[in-house]
Amino acid sequence: MFNFEYLDAELKDKLENPEKHYPDEVCQELCQFIEILRKDGQVRDPDYFRGNISGISGKTFYLQYISDFHRKFIKIIDIEIKTVELLRTQFSIQDTWDDSDVIEVIPQCDPPPKIIKALKLILNGIVDSYELGYELGHRGKERRYISRHGQYTRQALEVLKLVECRKEGRKLVPELTARGERIAKTDDEQLQHKLLTVAMLNYRPVWNIINATTESGKDEFDDSTIQRIAFPEEFRTANTCDRRTSTLKTWIKWISSTSGIPIRLPGGYIQLTLFSQNPSDIQE
């Protein structure tokens, strides 16, 4: 049997108490490989060009270590969580978009807490654009300005597939989808956040930006990255581009701060703990 050494105390705590730091998927897979290492001393041959460092590439993590067969010790050097793979499994991300020529509608909308409020308003029968905008706190000298904000919100709910709109005369009337209704009916704030996060991650511009700015990506999360990924070049000089960019930026920062999904900011990551220990909570 082999004993373990660690590069530092933080890494030691992560490997010896994975349930404190990682979701169930990581813990289950990690424990299997740790047992193999403890018994056999290695999983694959070391890379002699990298100082005899060996690597284990699992579905949810990448682990680096050095085996010392003479001393019967293994030194753990680093562990990196494969965030994108976790997101795909935890949040049922489709990630199979093949319609690359489709130009996505990018809304200009309120922050996520007001999206949740809007769903509750619709559940209670407030579906008129003016009333929706007014109840969400928007004011203006003319009625049309308030109505416009209600329309922006409805558009955001549509692209997130939280409402579907039917036509009544000249008006579009929003109706809640199954996920939208679950968000609107529950008073459990964490469940609301989980369900809204799932909806946002399944919206292609959000997913593509997060994919590019987590550990596996190479981009920093800023306006230029958002616009390059989400907007066709000819749209980047449009008058509303900055406002639509701000919407995506606000949404993704909210996702990261409430769920712990890491994004690469200039100067470092936002990193908490991935929620959804019970995937059934967010399945329909």
**Dmax (CA) of the chain:** 81
Specify the pairing of strand 171-176 against strand 163-168. Answer: antiparallel
Does the predicted TM-score (pTM) go above 0.85?
no
Over the stretch 194-223, which tens digit does the pLDDT of each residue have?
899 999 999 989 998 988 887 666 788 899
Over the stretch 123-171, which tens digit does the pLDDT of each residue have?
999 999 999 999 999 988 899 999 999 999 999 999 999 999 988 887 8
161 touches 200 (CB < 8 A):
no
Per DSSP, the three-state class of 265 is: strand
Which amino acid is located at 128 in the chain?
A: D
The domain segmentation of the chain, as residue ranges, is: 3-81, 90-282
Tokens of 200: 């946002």
Q: Any idea which residue has 């904000």 for tokens?
A: 149
What CATH number was assigned to the domain covering residues 3-81? 3.30.2310
